[in-house]
Amino acid sequence: MRFVDEFRDGALGRKVAAQILGVVEPGRHYKVMEVCGGHTHSIYRYGVDDLLPENVELVHGPGCPVCVIPMGRVDDGIAIAREPGVIFTCFGDMLRVPGSAGTLLDAKAQGADVRMVYSPLDALRIARAEPDREVVFFAIGFETTAPSTALTLMRARAEGLRNFSCMCNHVTIVPPLRALLDSPDLRLDGFIGPGHVSTVVGARPFEFIPADYGRPVVIAGFEPLDILQAIHMILAQLAADRCEVENQYTRVVPYDGNPAALRAMAEVFELRPHFEWRGLGFISQSALRLADAYADLDAERRFAVPGVRVADPKACQCGEVLKGVIKPWECKVFGTACTPEHAIGTCMVSPEGACAAYYNYGRFVTSSGGPSL
């Protein structure tokens, strides 16, 4: 299949791995962060890290939309779902994210009408079919999914639908990256930039990373050869003492993004002054809410929500995983109390979460304390 098979060619992968070996300095340890959970998933699915020299370490970033939703927001969603007459809709992986007293799936088992949808337009279809019920869409995701929520709200407005609203949890990618770069915990040499987000925002918003922090960024696609080539491009920049934003994913990502998607977002959303990220705390101007012009479609204004901050469970180390400070297998409950079937933290719930990627592709802790295949 075009754009798939040729990006999974093992012989080409070994060639790029040899090129990577040619640009690394022996004795220097490199830490490269893949920002996006989709990259983490591909890296472990295809064994990309097994092709890298030992001194090139991949560190997993905060770019998994489900992983960063704090417990308080799940509780708020469940409170709305339990309102009489509400049909509460969300993506499938959100159903299993733990709040302080269970998940949306638990609320469904207890009688709330919670339904899985594949897109916000599915939720809109339900609203048209059930005019006597209030249909709420629990919107999550970075700039990748925010345009589809914006367009759905524009359509609801155009159709005059009165029984549809959105609980907006969309987040933006630049503020958490800045927070990570300001963190003293972490020394990173470069970033594999988020390919999906960049299809919307473009590569330009990442120029602050080389300009302010002196680190290279390469926007990358999600096939194994994309990721290997991006790692080579980052290490080649470091070898040549260069530091800039490069775009490996040119077949999809325009440098200036998608203007129609950006226009839709600008019409429907505005920045929240601050937003809580699971494990990362409050980050200024890091999330979106509905602009005043769409206030009547805002579920948080239509329904009463507790809006309470809930601390993560003591055993949960998702924050450290999301910041790349520890590897998933270093969490005390990884693979024992916390598994995809019974997740304590969000990073084990979503397929894009680093813990789920390690668990599903066999990076289990061994008796010697390290990961094994």
Q: Give the tokens for residue 39.
A: 């990259």
CB of 185 to ligand SF4, least distance (A): 15
**Taking CB under 6 A as the rule, does residue 201 contact ligand SF4?**
no
Helix (H) / strand (E) containing 115: strand 113-116
- What 123-126 contacts at long range (C-beta under 8 Å, 24+ apart), as own/partner pairs, is 123/89, 123/152, 123/164, 124/152, 124/155, 124/156, 124/161, 124/164, 126/87, 126/89
Q: Which is nearer to ligand SF4, 161 or 333 (CB)?
A: 333
Among positive and negative, which fits the CA dihedral 350, 141, 35, 319?
negative
Out of 39, 221, 328, 350, which residue is the one contacting ligand SF4 (CB under 6 A)? Answer: 328
Q: Is 211 helix (H, G, I), strand (E, B) or coil?
A: helix
Out of 51, 253, 321, 365, which residue is the one contacting ligand SF4 (CB under 6 A)? Answer: 321
Q: Which is nearer to ligand SF4, 262 or 344 (CB)?
A: 344
The site string for ligand SF4 over 272-311 (x = CB under 6 A, - otherwise) reads: ----------------------------------------
- Contact between 143 and 173 (Cβ < 8 Å): yes
Q: Which stretch binds ligand SF4 (CB under 6 A): 54-62, 78-86, 102-110, 325-333?
A: 325-333
CB of 372 to ligand SF4, least distance (A): 17
**Taking CB under 6 A as the rule, does residue 317 contact ligand SF4?**
yes
**Taking CB under 6 A as the rule, does residue 74 contact ligand SF4?**
no
**Taking CB under 6 A as the rule, does residue 61 contact ligand SF4?**
no
Q: Which is nearer to ligand SF4, 232 or 323 (CB)?
A: 323
Q: Which is nearer to ligand SF4, 38 or 328 (CB)?
A: 328
Q: Is 289 helix (H, G, I), strand (E, B) or coil?
A: strand
CB of 264 to ligand SF4, least distance (A): 33
Out of 217, 316, 357, 365, which residue is the one contacting ligand SF4 (CB under 6 A)? Answer: 316
**Taking CB under 6 A as the rule, does residue 357 contact ligand SF4?**
no
CB of 107 to ligand SF4, least distance (A): 21
Q: What is the CA radius of gyration of the chain?
A: 21
- CA 323/CA 182 separation, integer angstroms: 11
Shortest Cβ contact with ligand SF4: which residue? Answer: 345
Q: Which is nearer to ligand SF4, 64 or 124 (CB)?
A: 64
**Taking CB under 6 A as the rule, does residue 98 contact ligand SF4?**
no
**Taking CB under 6 A as the rule, does residue 66 contact ligand SF4?**
no
What residues have CB less than 8 Å from 137, skipping those under 6 apart?
89, 90, 117, 120, 123, 124, 149, 152, 164, 165, 166, 167, 299
What DSSP string runs through 41-64? HHHHHHTGGGGS-TTEEEEEEEE-
> How would you classify residue 362: left for phi > 0, otherwise alpha for psi between -120 and 50, otherwise beta?
left
Q: Which is nearer to ligand SF4, 123 or 349 (CB)?
A: 349
Closest to 219 in 3D by CA, of 243, 198, 241, 244:
198
**Taking CB under 6 A as the rule, does residue 123 contact ligand SF4?**
no
CB of 183 to ligand SF4, least distance (A): 17
User: Residue 288: beta bridge partners?
Assistant: 271
Backbone phi, psi, residue 290, to 5°? -70, 135
Q: Which is nearer to ligand SF4, 254 or 335 (CB)?
A: 335
Instruction: Report residue 349 CA to chain centroid gap.
Output: 12
Q: Which stretch binds ligand SF4 (CB under 6 A): 19-27, 174-182, 299-307, 347-355?
A: 347-355
Closest to 319 in 3D by CA, of 185, 162, 212, 220:
185
Positions touching ligand SF4 (CB under 6 A) are 316-318, 321, 328, 331, 333-334, 338, 344-345, 347-348, 355
